[in-house]
Amino acid sequence: MVVFAVLANEHPQFRAELPQLAAYLAAFMGLTALAALGFIGLARQRPWRGWAQAALWVALAALATLYALTRR
């Protein structure tokens, strides 16, 4: 992200791809947060751990679908 932001003025292609890169960065940060929540739930044997794991798998499937649809 930093490289794209720094080189955006020199390479117009980087500037054009910056919004999509930011969206993917946000999506993967959300996925990472869900994974951490699921791990904490499992490690501490919380009653909501199943919901956290389900949310992680749903988000992963949604992200894979989004990726597949944007690559066509």
Listed in sequence order, the DSSP H helices in the chain are 2-7, 12-43, 49-70
Q: What is the pLDDT of residues 52-62, one digit of tens each?
A: 999 999 999 99
Domain regions of the chain by residue span = 17-70
Q: What is the pLDDT of residues 23-56, one digit of tens each?
A: 889 999 999 999 999 999 999 999 999 999 999 9
pLDDT for res 7: 76
CA-angle at 27, arms to 25 and 30, nearest 5°: 110
As a whole number of angstroms, the distance between CA 65 and CA 59 comes to 10
3-class state of residue 35 by DSSP: helix
Confidence band for 18, pLDDT divided at 50, 70 and 90: confident
Confidence band for 65, pLDDT divided at 50, 70 and 90: very high
